[in-house]
Structure 1
Amino acid sequence: MDDDADAHALLRLIHAGGAAAPRRRLLEHAEGPAAALAGGAPAWREAGLDAAQRAALGGPEDAVDDWRRWLAGAPARQVIGWHDPDYPLLLKRMQAPPLALFVEGDPCRLWRAGVAVVGSRAPTAGGRDNAAQFARRFALDGLAVVSGLASGIDAAAHIAALDAGGDTVAVLGSGIDMPYPRSNLRLHARIVEAGTVASEYPPGTPARREQFPSRNRIVAGLALGTLVVEAAQRSGALITARLAADAGREVFAIPGSIHNPMARGCHRLLRDGATLVEAPEEVTGALSAIAGELADALRERLDAPIQSVETILNTAGAGALPDPDSDDPDYNRLWRALGHDPTGMDELVARSGLTVARASAMLLSMELDGRVALLHGRYSRKS
């Protein structure tokens, strides 16, 4: 969000706490967060905010100053509210979506067609290898890998996607500045640099057990489907899979040995109707139609050409592509700024004169259109 008054008002709405549905309703009936606050107690009451929420909104404005300082600390930090057109479409379709997301990294990745890869925090060596193999293939095929930055399967999936030069999104069950477990601090920093980190919890929020199921619904909500690699009978990964299924998303599970306790959760999912998969291509093939719907929505959001859905899932071997025929001068300026050598975002912004937000949105569109390749955070024309 660029408008400081709206950003500040949104932070105050987050700070009000309590049920999210009334606050979403308040935003839906106002022209923005600042207007929602300006409506005062009568509008807040009409939207269904309870007494505690109304009292918080009428309290001191400096209650959110620490969050504002965090947001101002780096250009890649922002908060995306329910009212914002950049709020991820797939997440919006979930039951009880969060009022807002704190984001660090490129927010455009939250719109990218992706697969949630989840599983045990204490996987077998084979399970860890499977997570890496599948995540690497997804990344190379242009799918984002979404997970929860936990130890084990989550971390293996994030690392494999990054090593392949692909996109990964980490969703935290704590404040966005307090990754858990702390042993993943370096991985968190790496994802901030080359991927995207998101959390519904404000900066400074410590990890609490009761917050992780809520985190899992965001992991499931951002992805076209969820792959469970290894999971015990009682596992957070099974919660993610159930939430995905409840939202009508695809659920996949890798079978394992009957003697492996970390396979029992996957076998339970398979008995309940999940799709058994043995190769990454089985996942990407099943998701192609849903990815097409997301591409159409992204095209409308960015008002830019996305001509081929299949490039989302399989960009390998694409032939030479013609120059863009867009009438948008910004689009054409950015295309001219791109070369066949990988170029970082800072240089593309300097060459084109566009803002980072505008350039990021159009680069994502060009990627989906099959014109641009992204590797290790640098962009180039596809040849």
Structure 2
Amino acid sequence: MERDELAGWLRLAMTPGVGPTAARRLLAAFGLPRQVFEQSIDALASVGSAAQVQALCREPPGWAQQVETTWAWLQAGDPAAPRRLLTLADAGYPPSLLQTEDPPLLLYLQGLPLVQWPRAIAVVGSRNPTPQGAINARLFARSFAQAGLAVVSGLALGVDGAAHEGALEGAPAGALATIAVVGTGLDRVYPRRHLDLAHRIAGRGLLVSEYPLGTRPLRENFPRRNRIIAALGEGTLVVEAALQSGSLITARLAAEQGREVFAIPGSIHSPQARGCHELLRQGAKLVETAQDVLEELAPQPPAPPASAPEPAAEPGREPLLLRAMGFDPVGLDALIARTGTGAADLQAQLLELELAGQVARLPGGLFQRVERS
């Protein structure tokens, strides 16, 4: 992209009152942004409102500085993880996103070069998952990556981060492992504790944003970016979610775009499971294993797994305490009643299992069994 072309696209994107829908009408009527700004007031008025025409005739606040900042950012990219700016007019714009009702005018990218957008699945869920929920997100994502699907998520804490990590673990060398769609400019990382994760994604996957450089983590941006997450995946898997959550927004958008929605069921006592249960009531597909999802999407050809799966434990070999726990959160009194073991001995066993990674300690004096990877 030449500098003048970049300036035209940024000016159109930054013009107050001219959103993506109005911008698409202008582009359809007059061509590229440079041609839009060459039009007379009367010509512009035939397409836009009076307020939009007035805004188009003035340079947007901060536009010249944004051109400088973006141009410098593009030139400073690492050749191994190049920085790009895709416009609606680019042949490389993701086709699945182009077919949505509100595709972004611009997409900022940083990461592996693309010949074409990969087959992918979105994995989303709670920012505060249960220990088992985080493990499920990582293991499902790892299996998807091993099968040749890129994993799309939002770089948030909790399920998103676990999904990105799992995809990085499972993807074959050289494959695009995961796509992180963020709610800030790509010159920022939010949350900051995912800075290292973002760098690793840029090296083996792709960071994507519709927001200009310098955009801070504004609350309203995160629900909006969910439409991109939904569009880039052939389906959306919700691992854990509360009833009021961004994950359910992503699932709804995926369904509206004609894509599959999958949900993992959980304990009836867990608030993080209620969103998934609501999705199941609405017709989402219940899944218990990654293979359930893969069979629906039927990726071809599947990549061989990075390592052979561990054999399942024999039912009679696991500790009595684990069998008594089940998979729902449970308190110490209930475990005493189920096992007939004294509190001191039970606490010692729980600590041993916790150190072995087989039990997680939850708030409120509860314990939960977790599956190890």
TM over 0.5: yes
Residue 146 of structure 1 aligns to a residue whose secondary structure is strand
More helix by share: 1
* Residue 81 to residue 47, structure 1, CA distance change in 2 (3 Å): farther
- In structure 2, how many angstroms separate the alpha carbons of the residues matched to 1:159 and 1:228? 16
Q: For 1:185, what is the secondary structure of its paired residue?
A: helix
Amino acid at match of 1:193: G
Tell me the CA shift for residue 147 of structure 1: 0.3
TM alignment of 1:1-383, pairs within 5 A: 2-18=1-17, 19-39=19-39, 41-48=41-48, 51-52=51-52, 54-55=54-55, 58-59=58-59, 62-64=64-66, 65-74=68-77, 75=79, 76-106=82-112, 108=114, 111-165=117-171, 166=175, 167-288=177-298, 310-311=300-301, 314-316=302-304
Measure how far apart 1:3 and its partner are: 3.2
| Cα deviations by residue, 1:213-261 (Å, 9 ceiling, x for unpaired) | 1111111011111000001111110110011111111100000111111
Q: Secondary structure at 1:209's aligned position in 2?
A: coil
* Structure 1 contact 23–47 (Cα < 8 Å) conserved: no
SS in 2 for 1:55: helix
Match of 2:46, SS? helix
In 2, the alpha carbon distance for the partners of 1:207 and 1:91 equals 23
C-alpha contact 1:255 1:263 (8 A) present in aligned 2: yes
Aligned partners of 1:82 and 1:285: how far apart in 2?
33
Give the AA of the match of 2:51: A
Q: Which runs of 5+ in 2 are unaligned?
A: 306-373
Question: What do the CA deviations read for 1:283-322 (whole angstroms, capped 9, x no partner)?
Answer: 122123xx7xxxxxxxxxxxxxxxxxx22xx1339xxxxx
SS at match of 2:114: helix
Residue pair 1:170, 1:198 contacting (<8 A) in 2 also: yes
CA contact (8 A) 1:118 1:228 kept: yes
Q: Which residue is equivalent to 1:371? A: none
1:230 match: secondary structure? coil
**Residue type of the partner of 1:69?**
A
Q: Distance in 2 between matches of 1:110 and 1:146?
A: 15
Task: Summarize the Cα distance change of 1:23–1:122 in structure 2 as closer, same or farther, 3 Å threshold.
Answer: same
Distance 1:249 1:54, change over 3 A: farther
* TM-score, structure 1 normalization: 0.72
**C-alpha distance in structure 1 between counterparts of 2:247 and 2:101, whole Å:** 18
How far apart, CA to CA, are the structure 2 residues paired with 1:142 and 1:164? Answer: 9
Amino acid aligned to 2:37: L
The SS at the match of 1:111 is: coil
How far off is 1:92 after superposition?
1.2
Counterpart position of 1:354: none
Deviations 1:139-169 (A, max 9, x none): 1111110000000000001011112235200
Q: Which letter maps to 1:130?
A: N
Q: Unaligned 5+ residue runs, structure 1?
A: 292-309, 318-383
- Contact 1:22–1:48, Cα closer than 8 Å, also in 2: yes
Paired residue total: 294
TM-score (norm. length: structure 2) = 0.74
Residue 57 of structure 1: how far off its partner (Å): 5.5
Deviation (angstroms), 1:100:
1.3
Q: Match of 1:366?
A: none
- The structure having more radius of gyration, on CA atoms, is 2
Cα distance change of structure 1 residues 57 and 132 upon mapping to structure 2, 3 Å threshold: farther
**1:62 offset after TM fit, Å?**
1.6
